[in-house]
Structure 1
Amino acid sequence: MKDIQEILAIACSVGWGAADILQSYYHGTAKNFDLEVQYKQNEPVTVADVAVSQYILEKLQASLGNEDFGYISEETYKVQAALTQELVWIIDPLDGTRDFIQKTGEYAVHIALVKEKRPILAVVAVPEAEKLYYAIKGSGAFVETRQRQSKKIQVSSRENIQDLTVVVSRSHRNQRLDYLLQKLPFANQKAVGSVGCKIATIVEQNADVYISLSGKSAPKDWDIAAPELILTEAGGKYTHFDGTPLQYNTGDINQWGGLLASNGQFHEELCQQAEAILGEFDKFKN
């Protein structure tokens, strides 16, 4: 089997190729650029999602095969038990489809390699920013430009909890989350689409915290696996509110409960505050 650096080089090349395809649809230069929006479980799906999913799977499988690697992609996933291969790719060909359709520019490609339920390699491409973020477990996080120039990235450092900026979703909002965000001591909020773009905002030091709460639905493995490793290798933290690590390829692709991503400062304090605030909310609502 190829070593991890070779696998990363393949994943980065596939990430840039996927970004090119998405941009061709986004800017209307693809041969068939009618997005043909359909809805699957209330979430939009376009021909771009499907085309990029097919591209990523074909490229990875051609380079790496199916023997050592399993593959989970948002567009091809069927409810199933956890894959039994030691190494499993978890892929979101287009994270932020609503933003893609609405032309905010805040969409991303997520490619993560998971071993024993934890990510060990990640690529997040943000096409409209012309940037690709990548990380290998234990080796730091990096951002690469179209010219293939790379630099190491590190999360922000703030002295006061009040100085933190929280990045919030435009579309995935509910009453519990809005209540929580009102009660937490953040002076600033920034609305950004796509989990990949939100985490990019944190590793670029333009924000410090991101919170997601499951409601009737929850974020999926492919929403989080790649961005999590980029963030943690840049010095941040991404956990459940109780501090437990996220796990992937468990047989349930939903990430239930409260999840907090941060620059690592005040992380435990924010998790504790969030649990207490939601406890108040739930008691008040009941």
Structure 2
Amino acid sequence: MLKTLGKDQFEGLEEVMAIAKSVGWGAADILRSYYRGEPDRGDLNIQEKKEGPVTAADIVTNQYILDNLQASFGNQDFGYLTEETYKFQSKGVMSPPLSQDWIWIIDPLDGTRDFIEQTGEYAIQIALVYQNRPVGAVVVWPEAEKLYYALKGSGTFVENRQGNPTRVTVSQRQNIADLSLVVSRTHRDERFNKLLEELPCKNKQYVGSVGCKIATIIEQRADVYISISGKSAPKDWDIAAPELILTEAGGKFTYLDGSPLNYNRGDVNQWGCLIASNGYCHQELCNQTKEILEKIDA
């Protein structure tokens, strides 16, 4: 169904991602039914794991996404890397990269703690990666009833439940002091708080899921998101889909040294410092962040 035509060109990608969008909306319906405590869904059955809570909603939604994508695309040409199946398969041990060129990277519920605490800031993230780089992405923000999607080289769009698409682009703010940071309410250690104090961007917004954070950037309500790993790091499924919807909206998402992110490398952890921005001050942000971290770590 998919054929590579050259750099950033893939025949059949639009049809493939149309299916992913439909699956994304279906997954949103499942999560919202749990979120509202509909009686046929039963208890959330919250389990506290080493890297955060897992609920029945995570597991049921994960299976729904997998079942529908595999029914459409099979397992021969497509690999599947999801948060829930990886935990089960790897048992805490790093797994080898999946062998297929085309990999679906899935987070059925990004922002589980926000889901439990009912902030509304949780998301579904589905990325299609080709040879370690995302070429198609769907991020659904169920409580906003918005689905963001991007195809490599074709821009980023947001659609409502009626399927009406609108193209979205990042802000054009170019003064680093005027940029607004989007950060978590939690997951901030002392090192990260020191970084926030030292950065010239003084405006801050507090949002849960990574997908929701990036959505605030492409809707021009914020401009910068920074992740620095401590004892843990964001995983492939936290970043792959948000990266593409940001970059196709005109932003940038890189490691601190400006190099691109890569996925399905065996180690699903995205260690180090990752910076997402509207792109206009990206290099300056990287340089200043590096200097501040070096001073903090000295």
Relative to the length of structure 1, the TM-score reads: 0.98
Alignment of 1:133-148 (within 5 A): 133-148=148-163
> Identity of aligned pairs, percent?
64
- Worse-superposed segment, 200-209 or 1-10: 1-10
Per-residue Cα deviation, 1:244-284 (whole angstroms, up to 9, x for no partner): 1110000000000000000001100100110110100011x
Counterpart of 2:251 (choices 236, 245, 251) is: 236
Alignment of 1:1-286 (within 5 A): 1-2=1-2, 3-29=12-38, 31-77=40-86, 78-79=89-90, 80-283=95-298
For 2:137, the aligned partner's letter is A
**Rounded Cα–Cα distance in structure 1 between residues aligned with 2:213 and 2:174:** 22
Aligned partner of residue 143 in structure 2, secondary structure: helix
**Rounded Cα–Cα distance in structure 1 between residues aligned with 2:253 and 2:145:** 25
**Rounded Cα–Cα distance in structure 2 between residues aligned with 1:187 and 1:266:** 15
**Rounded Cα–Cα distance in structure 1 between residues aligned with 2:189 and 2:260:** 24
Following superposition, the deviation at residue 33 of structure 1 comes to: 3.2
**Rounded Cα–Cα distance in structure 1 between residues aligned with 2:173 and 2:138:** 27
What runs of 5+ residues in structure 1 fail to find an aligned partner? none
Aligned partner of residue 112 in structure 1, secondary structure: strand
Following superposition, the deviation at residue 172 of structure 1 comes to: 1.2
For 2:24, the aligned partner's letter is G
Per-residue Cα deviation, 1:16-40 (whole angstroms, up to 9, x for no partner): 0000000000011151331110022
Following superposition, the deviation at residue 160 of structure 1 comes to: 1.5
**Rounded Cα–Cα distance in structure 2 between residues aligned with 1:267 and 1:89:** 28
Contact 2:174 2:281 in 1 (8 A): no
RMSD over equivalenced CA pairs, Å: 0.8
**Rounded Cα–Cα distance in structure 2 between residues aligned with 1:42 and 1:84:** 26
Structure 1 moving runs of 4+ over 2 Å:
none
Per-residue Cα deviation, 1:121-171 (whole angstroms, up to 9, x for no partner): 000000000000000100000000011100110000113111100000112
**Rounded Cα–Cα distance in structure 1 between residues aligned with 2:236 and 2:222:** 23
Change over 3 Å in CA distance of 1:86–1:159 after alignment to 2 = closer
**Rounded Cα–Cα distance in structure 2 between residues aligned with 1:33 and 1:126:** 23
**Rounded Cα–Cα distance in structure 2 between residues aligned with 1:280 and 1:21:** 46
For 1:28, the aligned partner's letter is G
